[in-house]
Structure 1
Amino acid sequence: MLAFLKTAAILLLCLMLADLVGVIVCLVFDVAPLRGSSSALPYAIWFVLGVFSGFIALNGAGGWIAGTGDADWSERPEARRIATTALACGTIVLAALSLLFWRVFWSRGVIGGYYVPDSMTHTLTFFAAVLGAMTLARALIGPKPGAPAP
């Protein structure tokens, strides 16, 4: 339960910070008269922010769960288990947020432009990028082959 709360806290913090950055960046691109601006630009913005959020959230949650001092937690033998725990908790948090946003925003026909969480498609792109980055980071974590055991 403690691992879930730690992961949820880190992930929600990352999502909130990325949402603030995303709103500002989308607003700048919306207001600034840029040539070649397309409707795919907000998707790209939310995708990139989601990838960064996923990597940062998994690393932060894993380090907090592992309780490391000066050693890098991702090189420890139990790093894959810790990352799997953080990934599972993050998946639950993202699913719960999706259900919440469906109930509050998306089922009521709210027109939100391209801001998260108002826009369903942009939010799901953002969440999929977060989950994909967390999954990729989990796959890459663990002791290096041939490295001496600590």
Structure 2
Amino acid sequence: MNPLFYRGDCTHMEKIKEVVEARSLFTEAAVDWSVMKWLSEKKRVRKTADACNATLDRVELEMQQGWSAELKTAYESLSGKDTDKIAPDAEKLAKSLKEAHDAAIAKRMEAEETFEKAEKRMSVSMAREGCQIAMAGWDLHEAAIKKSETAASKK
């Protein structure tokens, strides 16, 4: 069994432990924390978010490694690499997978920017907003992973 996540069956990925832990911390932070609590806990929040993001990246990469050679080639072609003729269905699926991945990363960057602004302004409300954005990004990343897992099962 993969230590990063557990599957009840081939098509159901349960929540990733690091995401569950980060979501719990961020939910608490987004609701209850005062300025002083933020100041004392921001390093733990950062460390937890980094661990969550690293795990999501690693799991997504594992799913991508299970793709067919044709899908891998189609996905690589989207980043400008020279490739041979690609089947339209593989290209369409690769675009869909890349869009899901890119949406998750864009949301992560939005959360990072929000946290940076919150820290500069010492704004708890903005930090709370950053928590909400980060959690939305994790949802998007888990959806991208699920999509990638489904693509891998279609070898």
Q: Same fold per TM (> 0.5)?
A: no
Larger helix percent: 2
TM-score in terms of structure 2 length:
0.40
TM-score in terms of structure 1 length:
0.41
